[in-house]
């Protein structure tokens, strides 16, 4: 599923042992999951909760605390997204299906989940074939017909292919305030607030293609250009071409993929035919390896000089390239 904020563990939280009015529960049956640990991640208040969930013979149970409606995202042990569930305290949710057919998984227990996942089930073929034009149009049509339905917000934020695009923001604005609970849209709002978390970034430790951590020092080059991206970003090929133009002995390109699901990442990188430094941050913008960058909407570009001072931050590749060009020629 295409998500707005693919999240990873920021802090570990134990799964509580009882459920009632002050807790929610999720009981799942995914026979092909076998026996393994899944990862459950959700926002509770101002805290991102992340916990391993033991699965035995395909069955598992999650219990947690969410005073306001939130979304629990469930991932495999390899951090491949399986299913999203809308919950709040008092809800008792059931999940049934198979990991190999994630868009055919059924989720029941509340009308919101039943309607949300019925939509995904009915469009499973298009989601599986990655026909984003059809799925996006279907979501837009659902929103147009259901502006007062919280499912509209859930579909837009978790299943629309470009939830950070101007079209998505336009769709969000067409949804009534009552159907946009603060807990659901808080992270969405944060995407548009991306000031530098620190003025200077002398170095970063990034995860390379071998899943090893690698130290990157800004002092090694006159300028470093960070390109933070997701595979379905608009104009991605155009941006790669523009970055090739400024990839010189004095300029280093640091390419960071923010997709939670990195299946196909290596093949996509090979297709780009570039030899610059490529890394991945499977936790998206909140991944610990890039938290200093405070990146938001992708594609996102940062230009830093040899001291680590950030001299450009924004979504425009042309502007990032222009910044480098002007600095080199002055």
Q: How confident is the model at residue 18 (pLDDT cuts 50, 70, 90)?
A: very low
pLDDT score of 16:
34
Q: How confident is the model at residue 111 (pLDDT cuts 50, 70, 90)?
A: very high
Q: Is 126 helix (H, G, I), strand (E, B) or coil?
A: helix
Which residues of the chain are in CATH 3.40.30.10 domains?
A: 203-328
Which range (97-106, 218-227, 240-249, 256-265) has the least confidence?
256-265
211: pLDDT strictly greater than 90? no
- Is residue 32 within 8 Å of residue 70, measured between CB atoms? no
203-328: CATH topology is Glutaredoxin (3.40.30)
pLDDT score of 21:
66
Q: Is the pTM of this model over 0.85?
A: no
Residue closest to 8 by CA, chosen among 68, 65, 80 = 80
283/38 Cα distance (integer angstroms)? 15
Which range (63-67, 75-79, 184-188, 200-204) has the least confidence?
184-188
- Is residue 153 within 8 Å of residue 173, measured between CB atoms? no
Which distant-in-sequence residues (6+ apart) come within 8 Å of 42 by Cβ?
A: 48, 49, 64, 66, 70, 71, 72, 73, 87
| Mean confidence (pLDDT) of the chain | 86
Ramachandran angles phi, psi of 253, nearest 5°: -100, 125
92: pLDDT strictly greater than 90? yes
pLDDT score of 187:
58
């Amino acid at each position: 599923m295409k998500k707005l904020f693919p999240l990873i563990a920021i802090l570990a939280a134990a799964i509580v042992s009882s459920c009632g009015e002050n807790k929610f529960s999720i009981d799942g049956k995914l026979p092909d999951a076998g026996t393994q640990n899944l990862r459950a991640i959700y926002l509770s208040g101002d805290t991102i909760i992340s916990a391993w969930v033991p699965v035995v013979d395909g069955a598992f149970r999650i219990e947690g605390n969410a005073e306001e409606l939130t979304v629990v995202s469930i991932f495999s042990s390899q951090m491949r997204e399986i299913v999203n569930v809308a919950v709040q305290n008092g809800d008792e949710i059931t999940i049934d299906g198979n990991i190999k057919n994630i868009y055919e998984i059924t989720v029941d227990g509340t009308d919101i989940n039943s309607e949300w996942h019925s939509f995904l089930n009915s469009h499973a073929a298009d989601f599986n074939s990655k026909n984003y034009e059809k799925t996006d149009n279907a979501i837009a049509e659902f929103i147009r017909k259901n502006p007062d339905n919280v499912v509209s917000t859930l579909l837009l934020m978790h299943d629309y292919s470009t939830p950070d695009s101007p079209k998505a923001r336009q769709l969000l604005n067409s949804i009534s305030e009552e159907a946009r609970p603060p807990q659901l849209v808080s992270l969405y709002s944060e995407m548009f607030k991306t000031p530098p978390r620190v003025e200077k970034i002398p170095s970063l430790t990034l995860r390379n293609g071998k899943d090893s951590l690698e130290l990157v020092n800004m002092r090694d080059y006159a300028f470093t250009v960070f390109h933070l991206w997701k595979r379905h970003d608009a104009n991605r090929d155009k941006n790669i071409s523009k970055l090739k133009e400024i990839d010189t002995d004095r300029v280093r390109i640091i390419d960071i993929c923010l997709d939670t699901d990195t299946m196909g990442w290596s093949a996509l990188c090979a297709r780009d035919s570039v030899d610059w430094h490529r890394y991945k941050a499977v936790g998206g913008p909140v991944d610990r390896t890039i938290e200093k960058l405070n990146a938001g909407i992708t594609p996102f570009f940062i230009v830093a000089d040899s001291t680590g001072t950030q001299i450009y931050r924004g979504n425009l590749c042309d502007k990032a390239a222009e910044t480098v060009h002007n600095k080199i020629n002055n």
